């Protein structure tokens, strides 16, 4: 019996073993969690030795923190918590899913090299989301104390374990989802759901411990909540975590592991930024991020978060130092909001400034957020000083580096005044011969061209000869295409004796162009120190070294004198921005920027698209003319019928030489220009009076850096060579500009006003009035209070002054074909810029027709263009284009006078003539004659061969008469295009459109002159409808006539046809041929086919050569053009013949008339 039982036990064991091995061991295993199996742990005789004698044969995984792998090298005896440790003599599998059979060795007293007893085991590599692991198929050893080793970390000695700090997870802070209105924060970490480990969490709010908690668990995610109330929005939170084993009462807690800090609210990063004035580099960007969501609160109706950006009043001294791209932040969770910050280019030398931006919730009543204050943003503004270059007088140049010295140059042409080598910015000046005294040529600025990026702005009084030989208007225009770049501003200010244009560019650069006299422009250019070492041109190299200004000229050579240096910067016509445009460069729109300040708790926003704020540090710059110049440019570019062209096209203002000479004499008389130059003594006396002894001069002596001797020297030189006191005014203006700039930049001279704000010294700036009030007024707070009898911003004009008119645009001529002639420009002197500036006009007769001028004077507004030019609104001209229902006139005249007070008009009247150039030729406003190649009929102009708008059969033929219509001489009769023979089936209703073409493109009407038919209809448009009653032909005689009576006649014969379809086929008009052509198609009854239904589908011979791939096709016979094949659905070919007289048309896929078929040999 025993052997039998032993056999049964072996059989049962084998069955069990096979079943265990058959299951997936990676999913079916037992765990062993015992840290004392580590090879680092030596058997402690105070403890019982480990023994696996009772181990059940199966797959196992070691899960202790000391490690889960049986060692593959021999451990020493008494290691792994036992006497004879078991190790694996073999190699672990490297691929997931691989299983290897190896030998386990029992190291008993190091006998047999540590493999005293051999036990067969298996090992398989497995995988789970956390990583790879091994499972072992183990058998129990035969005896004690033998146990398998696992792991290589050191367990805690003395019978208890310390939780390894390296296993302690890192806690993090988040919020509980889904979030409630009052958000619960979570200290969260991930750890396996072990039952022998406990955790503790401590919460800190703004660094203060507020609670200690045992975390809860959801799967492998552990968390500890912190309810709203223990913290509030705006607090900074962190938590910390510790752990210990619960297997022994003496097990110790680990050290604390702290989470990252978590700010509840809006995170502002960075919290401190630095910006630099006039910096052309990208703006500084600050990001704003909601760290927790704004949970919708129906009771308060809010689900978003917005904050107002502002600078508190305590930073009022630095209020305008920076600008931002928005004054309201709109925040959403999981989306970053940005705020771009840049420093303004404010021209103040005020060192480093520090200010804070604050962010105030916008009417937030949300219970979680309502008391929240966002973190502030600190901004450090690094100062950039501004330097000035000028070209004034005849002309004198002061470079950026030469503070008190100037150099002179007397050439003509176009020159580079300033060029930045790193960005697309240049200023070109144009010099002309402005005076000639005693053999000496004197030159002055007559034009300025400013380029930044793709924009080109031009101011010019120049002419093509570059010689001042007659007064001209100062034209300001945009030469570049498209609108000016955002951030570009052009201001115009008329002060009485001068016109000043100020151009402010997005880069912070500022250019001033002043016109004081007829022939002189003064140019001032302000550039930031950030341009230093990147500039070239007549303004110098801007390197803070005043001794090397001529080191490198425009020719790349070093120069030792001003003359050759200046000459080297002359540029060719094809390089000048007066003539050409720069290559187009892609421009990035930098957006709008705002000042956001707080005034009495109300937020005030000033938004603009430039980083310059010159306008808030100076007196008014005048009227912004950007929109006006852009409109004029678009009007001219688009060839709009508009008077804007007079602001773009340069024309003369004088009728003839006599008119010009009169004007020049009057200018010389009003300007007191001497025929002889001033002596040096007289010139010095005048210049000191203008400059040093003026009110402005006296207060500016308190300002350091103003070299009065330099201005007086330039003034004396100009008066000596020109004899024109206008140059003394130019020198005064240059001195005042430098004085004002120096005072406004020097913040150390500022004082606090009653509002606590820093202000420039009133005792100086309040005395800086235009032209020192011309000696006819008192300067108070930068405004002139004029003496009795004087007016104007600079008190330079007599209050009862009557303008003196000198010239009119284009000599007073205006072609009504080119513009509406409702505006004109008039040159003169003594204009007062006010609402009382008016243009008075009366009509006069120009051409001998029936038009009678009105005796009533028209009074319309005038607008001061610049100091010497007024734009007059004019009444509608009497010449009305295309108004042929009423009598007209080809020309009308106006006598135009100008008044400063709406009453007293100028003594001299300007003649203005609007005329139609189609028939009149006007050399001047007194001479208009009829053109030989035109007509005037009923007061309207017509060119040679023009037709009467009311009767085309009449035309303008000047060779016959210029004052009445002539009969059209080249009228051609219409020509019929319809064929004279047409066809119809007996009984067919035929609509036949008869057509004739008029070579003059005029309309044609039709009539039926004769016919032998009855029952027809015929329209004047040439549509004939007739049903053919029999086989007898019918004739129709048709007449085509144009509006002038010219005609053509044609007889159309309509022939009858019999339907050619056979075997019951029905004829239909052919869809690709016109009606009446005699072309028809047949609709065949069932069982018949062919062009004429001539073929029965039940007859024919069989041929399979053509039907292997293309059933239902029709194919020509290889050699006989009268035969063709037709394929049926069974790929059978039937050979057919075309009816007698017809041939197979390959293109039409049908039998056709031979004339339509090119019969060729079809053999392939």
Could you write out the three-class secondary structure of 588-621?
Answer: CCCCCEEEEEEECCEEEEEEECCCECHHHCCCCC
Using pLDDT thresholds of 50, 70 and 90, give the confidence band for residue 1101: very low
* Strand, coil or helix: 95: coil
Find the mean pLDDT for residues 637-649: 88
Q: Which of 572 and 1159 is assigned the larger pLDDT? A: 572
The encoded tokens of residue 235 equal 């607090």
Pick among 1.20.1250.20, 2.40.240.10, 3.40.1280.10, 2.170.140.10: CATH of 1100-1156 = 2.170.140.10
Angle, CA 383 vertex, CA 381 and CA 386 arms, to 5°: 145
Separation between Cα atoms, residue 670 and residue 868, nearest integer Å? 13
Strand spans (E) along 328-392: 328-331, 337-343, 353-361, 377-382, 386-392
Q: Which of 676 and 1161 is assigned the larger pLDDT? A: 676
- Residue spans of the domains in the chain: they are 30-148, 168-264, 266-382, 396-589, 657-798, 821-930, 974-1058, 1100-1156
- pLDDT value, residue 160: 52
Phi, psi for 14 (deg, rounded to 5)? -65, -40
Residues pairing with 993 in the sheet = 1023
Residues pairing with 863 in the sheet = 871
Using pLDDT thresholds of 50, 70 and 90, give the confidence band for residue 259: very high
The encoded tokens of residue 577 equal 């921005």
* Structural fold of domain 974-1058: Immunoglobulin-like (2.60.40)
Non-local CB neighbours of 45 within 8 Å, separated by 6+ positions: none
Using pLDDT thresholds of 50, 70 and 90, give the confidence band for residue 353: confident
Same fold yes or no, 266-382 and 1100-1156:
no
DSSP string, 785-821: EEPTTEESTTS-EETT---EEEEEGGGGEEETTTS--
Chain mean position to CA 649: 30
Gyration radius of the chain over CA positions: 52
* Structural fold of domain 266-382: Immunoglobulin-like (2.60.40)
Separation between Cα atoms, residue 143 and residue 160, nearest integer Å? 27
The answer to whether the CB of 890 falls within 8 A of the CB of 875 is no
Task: Kindly state the DSSP code that residue 37 receives in the 8-state scheme.
Answer: G
CB atoms within 10 A of CB 157: 11
Separation between Cα atoms, residue 650 and residue 384, nearest integer Å? 41
* Strand, coil or helix: 1113: coil
Q: Is residue 790 scored above 70 in pLDDT?
A: yes
Which residue in the block uniquely carries the two structure tokens 């005789």? 45
- pLDDT value, residue 1137: 76
Q: What percent of the chain has pLDDT over 70?
A: 91
Find the mean pLDDT for residues 1098-1102: 47
What is the per-residue pLDDT across 1036-1081, written as a single tens digit (0 to 9) for each?
Answer: 999 999 999 999 999 999 999 888 898 888 999 988 889 999 899 9
CB atoms within 10 A of CB 472: 22
Separation between Cα atoms, residue 554 and residue 547, nearest integer Å? 18
Separation between Cα atoms, residue 513 and residue 395, nearest integer Å? 13
Using pLDDT thresholds of 50, 70 and 90, give the confidence band for residue 428: very high
Q: Is residue 289 scored above 70 in pLDDT?
A: yes
CB atoms within 10 A of CB 617: 16
Strand spans (E) along 518-578: 521-528, 535-536, 570-571
Q: Is residue 58 scored above 90 in pLDDT?
A: yes
Find the mean pLDDT for residues 241-268: 90
- Region of 830 please: left (phi>0), alpha (psi -120 to 50) or beta: left
Sign of CA dihedral 731, 732, 737, 743: positive
Q: Which of 532 and 510 is assigned the larger pLDDT? A: 510
Which residue in the block uniquely carries the two structure tokens 């295993």? 29
Find the mean pLDDT for residues 745-764: 81
The encoded tokens of residue 457 equal 């702005």
DSSP string, 817-858: TTS---EEEEEEE----STT-EEEEEEE--SSSS-----SPE
Find the mean pLDDT for residues 236-259: 89
Closest to 801 in 3D by CA, of 670, 665, 662, 653:
670
Find the mean pLDDT for residues 277-295: 87
Q: Is residue 1108 scored above 60 in pLDDT?
A: no
- pLDDT value, residue 11: 36
Which residue in the block uniquely carries the two structure tokens 């084998």? 14
Using pLDDT thresholds of 50, 70 and 90, give the confidence band for residue 6: very low
Using pLDDT thresholds of 50, 70 and 90, give the confidence band for residue 472: very high
The answer to whether the CB of 205 falls within 8 A of the CB of 185 is no
Q: What percent of the chain has pLDDT over 90?
A: 51
Separation between Cα atoms, residue 951 and residue 379, nearest integer Å? 79
Separation between Cα atoms, residue 1107 and residue 1125, nearest integer Å? 9
- pLDDT value, residue 616: 44
What is the per-residue pLDDT across 300-342, written as a single tens digit (0 to 9) for each?
Answer: 655 678 888 988 888 877 767 888 988 899 988 888 999 999 8
The encoded tokens of residue 501 equal 């244009």
Please give the mean pLDDT across all residues of the chain: 86
Q: Which of 1055 and 194 is assigned the larger pLDDT? A: 1055
Find the mean pLDDT for residues 508-514: 91
Of the listed ranges 270-284, 574-588, 792-806, the one predicted with least confidence: 270-284
What is the per-residue pLDDT across 78-116, written as a single tens digit (0 to 9) for each?
Answer: 999 999 999 999 999 999 999 999 999 999 999 999 999
Of the listed ranges 12-16, 306-310, 315-319, 644-648, the one predicted with least confidence: 12-16
Find the mean pLDDT for residues 393-415: 86
Q: Terminus-to-terminus CA distance in the chain, angstroms?
A: 100
Task: Kindly state the DSSP code that residue 988 receives in the 8-state scheme.
Answer: -
Using pLDDT thresholds of 50, 70 and 90, give the confidence band for residue 3: very low
The answer to whether the CB of 543 falls within 8 A of the CB of 392 is no
- pLDDT value, residue 614: 45
Of the listed ranges 40-44, 722-726, 1062-1066, the one predicted with least confidence: 722-726
Q: Is residue 15 scored above 50 in pLDDT?
A: no
Whether pTM > 0.75 for this model: the answer is: no
Task: Kindly state the DSSP code that residue 406 receives in the 8-state scheme.
Answer: -
Separation between Cα atoms, residue 780 and residue 1057, nearest integer Å? 109
Q: Are strands 30-32 and 58-62 parallel, antiparallel or unpaired?
A: parallel
Q: Which CATH code fits 821-930?
A: 2.60.40
Of the listed ranges 268-282, 476-490, 866-880, the one predicted with least confidence: 268-282
Could you write out the three-class secondary structure of 192-215?
Answer: CCCCCEEEEEEEEECCEEEEEECC
- pLDDT value, residue 841: 97
* Structural fold of domain 168-264: Immunoglobulin-like (2.60.40)
Closest to 730 in 3D by CA, of 671, 807, 660, 669:
671
Q: Which of 650 and 211 is assigned the larger pLDDT? A: 211
* Strand, coil or helix: 313: helix
The encoded tokens of residue 69 equal 């792998």
Find the mean pLDDT for residues 288-309: 81
């Amino acid at each position: 019996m025993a052997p039998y039982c032993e056999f049964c036990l072996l059989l049962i064991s084998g069955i069990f073993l096979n079943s265990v091995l058959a299951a997936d061991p990676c999913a079916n295993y037992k765990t062993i969690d015992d840290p004392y199996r580590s090879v680092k742990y030596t058997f402690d005789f105070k403890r019982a030795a480990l023994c696996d004698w009772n181990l059940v044969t199966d797959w196992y995984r070691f899960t202790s923190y000391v490690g889960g792998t049986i060692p593959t090298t021999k451990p020493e005896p008494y290691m792994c918590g036992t006497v004879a440790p078991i190790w694996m003599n073999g190699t672990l599998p490297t691929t997931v899913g691989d299983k290897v059979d190896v030998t386990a060795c029992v190291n008993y007293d190091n006998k047999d090299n540590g493999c005293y007893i051999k036990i067969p085991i298996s090992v398989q590599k497995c995988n789970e989301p956390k990583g790879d692991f091994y499972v072992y198929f183990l058998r129990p050893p035969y005896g004690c104390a033998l146990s398998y080793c696992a792991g290589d970390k050191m367990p805690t000695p003395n019978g208890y374990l310390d939780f390894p700090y390296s296993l302690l997870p890192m806690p993090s802070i988040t919020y509980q989802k889904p979030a409630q209105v009052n958000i619960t924060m979570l200290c969260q970490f991930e750890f396996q759901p072990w039952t022998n480990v406990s955790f503790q969490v401590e919460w800190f709010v703004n660094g203060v411990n507020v609670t200690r908690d045992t975390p809860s668990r959801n799967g492998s995610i552990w968390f500890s909540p912190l309810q709203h109330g223990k913290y509030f929005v705006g607090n900074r939170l962190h938590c910390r975590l510790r752990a210990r084993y619960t297997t022994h009462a003496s097990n110790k807690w680990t050290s604390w592991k702290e989470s990252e800090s978590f700010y509840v609210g809006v995170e502002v990063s960075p919290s401190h930024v630095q910006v630099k004035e006039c910096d052309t580099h990208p703006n500084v960007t600050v990001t704003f991020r909601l760290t927790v969501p704004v949970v919708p609160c129906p009771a308060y109706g809010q689900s978003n978060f917005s904050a107002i950006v502002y600078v508190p009043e305590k930073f009022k001294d630095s209020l305008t130092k920076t600008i931002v791209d928005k004054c309201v932040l709109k925040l959403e969770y999981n989306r970053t909001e940005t705020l771009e910050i840049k420093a303004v280019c404010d021209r103040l030398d005020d060192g480093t400034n520090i200010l804070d931006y604050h962010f105030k919730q916008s009417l937030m009543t949300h219970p979680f957020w309502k008391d929240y204050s966002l973190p502030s943003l600190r901004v450090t503004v690094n100062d950039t000083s501004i330097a000035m270059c000028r070209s004034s007088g005849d002309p004198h140049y002061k470079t950026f580096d030469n503070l008190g010295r100037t150099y002179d140059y007397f050439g003509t042409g176009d020159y580079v005044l300033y060029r930045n080598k790193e960005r697309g910015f240049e200023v070109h000046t144009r010099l002309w011969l402005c005076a000639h005294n005693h053999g000496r040529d004197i030159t002055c600025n007559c034009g300025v061209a400013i380029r930044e990026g793709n924009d080109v702005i031009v101011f010019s009084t120049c002419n093509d000869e570059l010689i001042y030989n007659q007064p001209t208007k100062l034209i300001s225009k945009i030469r570049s295409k498209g609108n000016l770049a955002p951030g570009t501003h052009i201001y115009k200010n008329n002060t009485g004796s001068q016109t000043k244009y100020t151009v402010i560019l997005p880069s912070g650069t500022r250019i001033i162009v002043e016109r004081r006299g007829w022939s002189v422009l003064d140019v001032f250019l302000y550039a930031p120190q950030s341009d230093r070492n990147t500039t070239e041109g007549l303004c110098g190299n801007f390197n803070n070294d005043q001794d090397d200004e001529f080191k490198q000229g425009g020719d790349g050579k070093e120069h030792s004198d001003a003359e050759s240096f200046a000459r080297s910067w002359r540029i060719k016509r094809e390089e000048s921005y007066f003539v050409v445009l720069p290559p187009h460069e892609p421009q990035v729109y930098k957006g709008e920027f705002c000042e956001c300040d707080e005034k009495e708790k109300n937020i005030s926003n000033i938004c603009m698209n430039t980083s310059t704020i010159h306008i808030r540090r100076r007196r008014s710059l005048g009227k912004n003319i950007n929109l006006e110049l852009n409109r004029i440019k678009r009007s001219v570019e688009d060839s709009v019928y508009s008077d804007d062209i007079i602001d773009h096209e340069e024309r003369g203002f004088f009728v003839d030489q006599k008119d010009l000479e009169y004007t020049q004499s009057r200018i010389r008389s009003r300007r007191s220009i001497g025929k002889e130059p001033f002596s040096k003594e007289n010139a010095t006396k005048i210049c000191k009076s203008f400059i040093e002894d003026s009110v402005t001069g006296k207060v500016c002596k308190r300002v350091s850096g103003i070299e009065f001797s330099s201005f007086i020297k330039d003034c004396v030189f100009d008066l000596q060579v020109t004899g024109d006191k206008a140059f003394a005014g130019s020198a005064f203006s240059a001195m005042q500009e430098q004085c004002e700039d120096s005072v406004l930049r020097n913040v150390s001279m500022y004082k606090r006003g009653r509002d606590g704000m820093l202000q420039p010294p009133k005792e100086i700036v309040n005395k800086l009035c235009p032209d020192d009030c011309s000696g006819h007024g008192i300067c108070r707070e930068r405004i002139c209070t004029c003496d009795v009898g004087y007016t104007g911003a600079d008190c330079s004009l007599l209050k009862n002054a009557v303008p003196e008119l000198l010239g009119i645009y284009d000599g007073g001529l205006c072609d009504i074909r080119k513009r509406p002639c409702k505006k004109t420009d008039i040159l003169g002197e003594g204009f007062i810029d006010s609402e009382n500036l008016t243009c008075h006009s009366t009509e006069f007769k120009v051409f001998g027709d029936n038009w009678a001028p009105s005796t009533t004077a028209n009074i319309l507004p005038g607008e001061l263009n610049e100091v010497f030019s007024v734009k007059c609104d004019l009444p509608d001209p009497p010449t009305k284009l295309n108004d042929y229902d009423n009598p007209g006139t080809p020309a009308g005249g106006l006598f135009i006078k100008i008044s400063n007070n709406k009453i007293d008009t100028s003594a001299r009247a300007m003649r203005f003539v609007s005329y139609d150039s189609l028939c009149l030729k006007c050399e001047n406003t007194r001479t208009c004659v009829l053109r030989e190649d035109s007509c005037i009929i009923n007061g309207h102009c017509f060119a040679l061969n023009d037709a009467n708008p009311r009767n085309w059969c009449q035309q303008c033929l000047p060779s016959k008469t210029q004052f009445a219509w002539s009969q059209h001489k080249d009228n051609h009769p219409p020509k019929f295009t319809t064929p004279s023979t047409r066809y119809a089936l007996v009984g067919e209703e035929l609509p036949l459109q008869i057509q004739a073409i008029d070579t003059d493109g005029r309309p044609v009407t039709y009539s039926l002159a004769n016919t032998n038919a009855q029952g027809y209809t015929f329209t004047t448009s040439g549509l004939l409808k007739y049903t053919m009653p029999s086989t007898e032909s019918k004739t129709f005689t048709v007449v085509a006539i144009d509006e002038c009576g010219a005609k053509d006649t044609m007889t159309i014969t309509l022939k009858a046809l019999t339907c050619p379809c056979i075997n019951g086929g029905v004829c239909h008009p052919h869809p690709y041929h016109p009606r009446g052509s005699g072309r028809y198609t047949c609709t065949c009854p069932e069982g018949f086919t062919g062009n004429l239904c001539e073929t029965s589908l039940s007859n024919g011979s069989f041929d399979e050569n053509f039907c292997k791939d293309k059933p239902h096709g029709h194919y020509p016979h290889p050699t006989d053009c009268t035969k063709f094949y037709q394929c049926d659905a069974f790929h059978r070919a039937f050979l057919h013949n075309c009816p007698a007289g017809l041939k197979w048309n390959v293109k039409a896929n049908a039998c056709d008339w031979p004339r339509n078929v090119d019969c060729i040999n079809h053999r392939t």
